[in-house]
């Protein structure tokens, strides 16, 4: 079934968001996750708001950091990925995807999507949401970076027939020489700082509307 849904990397990427168990002033931080159905490669990033601006910025981050292009994105029918069809087109996530040549697949009832159950239990969202602790932001950021590195490079999964996401990726032409995958590592050809894992989307919203 997995091959039928996603025969190659980037064929279907699941996006989701969930509140973290902490409060920052009047905001409840959110973690956005992208999960490739074919390889189970996963990236995530923490935002201060669960908004269209956050979703749009995370999409840009995912397109930059994933080692393959994205053909289709699958989300649940919930804010910020799906709003009233009468909403302004430039504020609809579907229109934002279409403008970039990506098909948006909306799942009305995620309990009816078999792969969502796999995705849910393998994300940082699930780990952080099931914790009874209330860690500070710096601690969560460290946990996020460590979790993603372990998941992508070392975690073997039954749904991948005992392979890790990296090992699955390396089965496809053009990826045989990839040694590791870390979405927060500096670009190998640039002398730039580590990508920030948390974003103030009030700044992002101003940039998108400018």
- What domains sit in the chain, N to C, each tagged with a CATH number? 2-209 (3.30.420.10)
First-residue to last-residue Cα distance in the chain:
44
- In this prediction the pTM is 0.83
Q: How many other β-carbons are positioned within 10 Å of the β-carbon of residue 146?
A: 11
Q: What is the pLDDT of residue 183?
A: 92
Q: What is the pLDDT of residue 29?
A: 86
- As a whole number of angstroms, the distance between CA 168 and CA 178 comes to 11
Q: What is the pLDDT of residue 90?
A: 58
How would you write the pLDDT of the chain (210 residues) with one tens digit per residue?
Answer: 566 778 999 999 999 998 887 777 777 889 999 999 999 999 999 998 888 999 999 999 999 999 999 999 999 888 888 876 666 655 688 888 999 999 999 888 877 787 777 787 888 877 665 555 566 778 888 889 999 999 999 999 998 999 999 999 999 999 999 999 999 987 654 334 445 555 555 444 444 343
Alpha helices in the chain (DSSP H): 2-5, 52-65, 93-98, 114-122, 124-129, 137-154, 165-169, 201-209
């Amino acid at each position: 079934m997995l091959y039928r849904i996603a025969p190659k990397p980037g064929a279907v990427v699941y996006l989701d968001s969930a509140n973290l168990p902490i409060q920052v002033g009047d905001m409840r931080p959110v973690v956005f996750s992208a999960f490739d159905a074919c390889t189970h490669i996963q990236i995530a990033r923490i935002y201060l708001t669960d908004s269209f601006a956050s979703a749009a910025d995370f999409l840009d981050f995912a397109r930059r950091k994933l080692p393959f292009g994205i053909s289709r994105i699958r989300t649940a029918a919930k804010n910020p990925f799906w709003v009233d069809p009468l909403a302004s087109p430039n504020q609809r996530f579907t229109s934002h995807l279409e403008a970039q040549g990506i098909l948006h697949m909306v799942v009305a009832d995620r309990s009816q999507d078999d792969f969502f159950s796999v995705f849910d239990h393998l994300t940082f969202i699930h780990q952080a949401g099931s914790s009874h602790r209330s860690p500070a932001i710096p601690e969560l950021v460290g946990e996020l970076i460590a979790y993603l590195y372990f998941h992508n490079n070392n975690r073997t999964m039954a749904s991948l027939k005992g392979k890790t996401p990296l090992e699955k990726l390396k089965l496809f032409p053009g990826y045989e020489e990839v040694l590791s995958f870390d979405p927060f590592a500096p670009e190998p050809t640039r002398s730039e700082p580590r990508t920030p894992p948390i974003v103030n989307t009030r700044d992002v919203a101003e940039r998108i509307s400018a």
